[in-house]
Amino acid sequence: MAYTEANLAIIARAEKQLYHYVSTADAFATIAAADYFADKAPSIGVGDVIFVKASDRSGFLTVTAVTKTVGSYSVTTVANSDRVAANVAANASTPATCVTTPAAVITADDCTDLTTAVALLNIAKDRINTIIAENAVLKASITALITENATFKTTINAEIAALKAAGLQASA
């Protein structure tokens, strides 16, 4: 299969972008291959992180290169989860954290990638919390407008009833 624009969603915008991509048709290795995201190249950048849910597994990719040739783009990604797993397997130990064992098990680049991903997720969480707060304010405003509208309707109906009682006709 091929990249599908509708399956890519931006989660957070910052210096680096955080994306989520879902493909039930493509394996993770296919998605991680060079140029899978070439159609998105004009807006994707080096250092952007793409969380991928593929047909066979999930993981995340970091964009390592975006190049433009005449009329086309090339995008190169690296599968961070594969690199971390390879480093762990090569060192035959389990990392406690990046802070305590970066040189022995996880490279500095892995820690940077993970730190970037966490930072982008925190940005997304903060933005979601802001949207939730804004929606609560909007809901309160709409509720107040509905109440005001009901009060206005009651007042208008009372005035129409008074005019009818006085034998006058309300004009439209």
pLDDT at position 98? 45
Q: pLDDT over 90 for what percent of the chain?
A: 6
Segments making up each domain of the chain, as ranges: 5-126
pLDDT at position 18? 85
Burial class (CB in 10 A: 0-12, 13-18, 19+), 56: exposed
DSSP 26: S
pLDDT at position 79? 64
Distance CA 70, CA 151 (A): 65
Q: Do strands 8-12 and 58-69 pair parallel, antiparallel, or not at all (unpaired)?
A: unpaired
pLDDT at position 116? 66
- Note the pLDDT tens digit of each residue in 133-151: 888 888 888 989 999 999 9
pLDDT at position 67? 80
- Cβ contact 52:31 at 8 Å: yes
Q: Which amino acid, one-letter code, is at 64?
A: T
pLDDT at position 154? 92
Residues of the chain with pLDDT under 50: 88, 91-106
